[in-house]
Each structure stands twice: as structure tokens, then as C-alpha cells.
Amino acid sequence: MELEFSGEIFHWRGPAPHHFVTVPDEECQEIQDVAARLTYGWGVIPVGVRVGRTEWTTSLFPKNGRYLVPLRADVRRAEKLELGDTVTIKLTLDAD
């Protein structure tokens, strides 16, 4: 399954601070439809991500009925992304 969407980069200052983009509601529903087959615990879901020319693997984090895509520092540097920027994200989920 491949999904593409845009969202704003925000910083979460929780116990493990990081930068994220929230997956929009429509795409969250598509992910929830296959989540039981993909999760490996705590509701996190492994995904492939592409932002610009940068590709990597990570896990979506469930938060308040939605999912968050973490954006690593090296990805933000490579793509020249800053807090508050709107970014287009392509997700690949192995839902077969």
C-alpha cells in the first residue's frame, strides 16, 4: 500500500523529543484498516518513507487516534526542512 500526503512539521517535546508530521484522517483510516496485520507491538507500524529524494524506514506512532511520521534530523538536514514547513510524504506499507 502506498499513500501520499502533505503536512506540517511539528516538534513534540515529550519524553523522547522529536519532529513529526501527522498523517491526515483519510490516510489514517486506510492504515487502521490494515494495522492489525502490520503492527509489531504498541500499535507502531513499520513503513518506508520518502521525502523529496530521501528514503528511509521507520515506524508510525499512534497518537490520539491518528498516526505520526517521525522525521529524523539527518532527513531534515538533507531536505533542508525546518519546524513549521509543509512537506509531502510518501509512505509504503507492506499490507499484502
- Domain layout of the chain by residue ranges: 2-92
Q: What is the pLDDT of residue 66?
A: 94
Distance CA 86, CA 96 (A): 30
Q: Between the CA atoms of 28, 64, 48 and 93, what dihedral angle is there, to the nearest 10 degrees? A: -40
Query: Are residues 14 and 62 in contact, defined by beta-carbon separation less than 8 angstroms?
Result: no
Report the CATH superfamily, name and number, of domain 2-92: AF2212/PG0164-like (2.40.30.100)
Residue 13 confidence (pLDDT): 80
Phi/psi of residue 27, nearest 5 degrees = -70, -35
| Tens of each residue's pLDDT in the chain, 96 residues | 999 999 999 998 876 669 999 999 999 999 999 988 888 877 889 999 999 999 999 999 999 999 999 999 999 999 999 999 999 999 999 865
The whole-number pLDDT of residue 96 equals 59
* Identity of the amino acid at 41: G
Rounded Cα distance, 47 and 92, in Å: 6
